[in-house]
Amino acid sequence: MRKTPVHPQWLVFLQGHRAAAHALQQFSGTVLDIGCGNRWVESELNQHCRYLGLDYPDTVAMGYQGKPHLFGDGQNLPLQDASIDAILMLDVLEHMPKPAQAVAEATRVLKPGGVLLIQVPFLYPLHDEPYDFQRWTEHGLTVLMQTQGLECKRIVSHGAPIETSAALGAIALAKAVLDAVTNKRPSLLLAPLLISAIPILNISGWLLAKLMPSSNFMPLSYLILAKKPQ
C-alpha cells in the first residue's frame, strides 16, 4: 500500500526509498546495515555482497519486526577495525543521541576506501518519540562527515518544495483521522473526506513537481555517500 498514492507517505517512499535502492546496487563486499529493521535492504543488494544486519534491542521491541544478525549500538559497534566494505544508516542517524560518535564508529570499522551511505529526513514529522533527536541540512551533513575523516562524494536532496508540502499535508490528514478514531472525537465524521483527500494531495504534488522548476530549498530528506580515504 505504501507504494500507491493512497498511502499518506507515498511521496516519502517514492523519493527516498527508490534513491537508496538505486545506490545500493553499486556496493560490493561486506555490507553492514545499521538499524536494519525488517532487512528490506538485503533484497536490493547485488549478488557480490555479503549482508550483515545490526539493530538495537529496544528497536526490535518497539514492533519493527527486526531480524538482525547482530544486536548492538551503532554508537559502539561490536566489530573490528577496518572489517567492513560498506555501511548503511538509512533513516537511523536522527535517532542516535550522539550522531558524531556513530559516524566515528562507522569510520573505524570501514576498510580504507570503504563507503558510508546515510539517509536522513529534513522536513518530516517527529516519529518514534522520544528517540527522534535531530535534523541536518546538507551543509551540516558535510561538516559531520569531514570532521570524522570521511570524504563527501555525493549529497542528493529528495523532494521538490511542492512535493514536500503535499507529503506533509497527506501525513497531517492521516494523523488527524487517527487522532479522531483514537479519541472518538466528533471530527471523526470528516474522516471519509480527509482520507479521500490524501491521494489527491499526493498525485497533485507529484504532477506539479514535474511541471515546475526544480529546487532543493525545502526537501523531505537527504542521501549522502561518503568514503573513507585509502
pLDDT digits (tens, 9 = 90+) for 160-190: 999 999 999 999 999 999 999 999 888 889 9
Per-residue pLDDT band at 42 (split at 50, 70, 90): very high
d(CA 51, CA 68): 10
Look at residue 2 in the predicted model and tell me its pLDDT: 78
Residues 6+ apart with CB under 8 A from 168: 123, 124, 125
Q: What's the rounded mean pLDDT across residues 126-146?
A: 96
Q: Enter the pTM of the model.
A: 0.93
Look at residue 73 in the predicted model and tell me its pLDDT: 95
d(CA 195, CA 189): 11
Furthest-apart CA atoms within the chain: distance in Å: 62
Class in CATH terms, 13-160+216-227: alpha beta
Whole-number percent of the chain with pLDDT over 70? 97
* pLDDT: which is higher, 64 or 186: 186
Q: Which residues pair with 117 in a beta bridge?
A: 88, 225
Look at residue 68 in the predicted model and tell me its pLDDT: 92
The domain ranges of the chain are 13-160+216-227, 161-211
| 138-147 and 99-109 helices, crossing angle to 10° | 50
Q: For residue range 84-106, list pLDDT tens digits in order.
A: 999 999 999 999 999 999 999 99
The residue behind cell 506539479 is 208
Cis bond upstream, residue 112 (ω within 30): no
